[in-house]
Amino acid sequence: MVDSEKVEELFLTLDDKLDKTVAVLKDTFASIRAGRANPHILDKLQVEAYGMMSPLQQLGNIAVSDARCLVISPWDKSLLKAIEKAILASNIGITPTNDGTVIRLVFPELTEERRRDLVKQVRKTGEEAKVAVRNNRREAMETVKKMKNGKELSEDEAKNCEIDIEKEITGRIEEIDKIVAAKEKELLTV
């Protein structure tokens, strides 16, 4: 590896971009429900409370009561209707039941056809993440080429940088493949 601040900065930037790509993929997959109760499906849910929009997690406790049921216990019971309205408007495909003290979300069993659709969606999202990773590789390679043409790097140093970039990209694509495979397995497990 070349001892150059610009090269080090290049790899730090590349690593940061790749970390963000993988994090976005994991976030996206967390919100895809697999027929089991998953509190992360509510992560992006905003509720109108006290005259402003607030994340649901800040308004109450979200617990998994069993494999197919989430229980939302708001700290202020007057927010039950607002939470129920936000869940209905969120389009997550689950109808909330309000018993006056808590809201229950019962996750229906996924049909085989729905599971296959979700697997297709997961694969498509995984492929988009790989495209983003490859775009990051292209940008990094172009930077190395500019540095070589600008005489900041020798031929050998540029070649070593390209090899290191390739290793990093290959590792991230393998990581994405593992994440996609794990989500597919989760979706197809009945």
Q: What is the pLDDT of residue 1?
A: 44
Cα–Cα dist 160/142, whole Å: 14
Q: What is the pLDDT of residue 140?
A: 93
pLDDT-flagged residues of the chain (< 70): 1-3, 33-35, 190
Query: Are 55 and 46 within 8 A, CB to CB?
Result: yes
Q: What is the pLDDT of residue 51?
A: 87
Q: What is the pLDDT of residue 6?
A: 84
As its CATH architecture, domain 5-31+111-188 has Orthogonal Bundle (1.10)
Q: What is the pLDDT of residue 116?
A: 87
Q: Cite the residue boundaries of each domain of the chain with CATH code 1.10.132.20.
A: 5-31+111-188
Q: Cite the residue boundaries of each domain of the chain with CATH code 3.30.1360.40.
A: 39-106
Query: Are 188 and 115 within 8 A, CB to CB?
Result: yes
Q: Which fold has domain 39-106?
A: Gyrase A; domain 2 (3.30.1360)
pTM of the predicted structure, to 2 decimals: 0.70
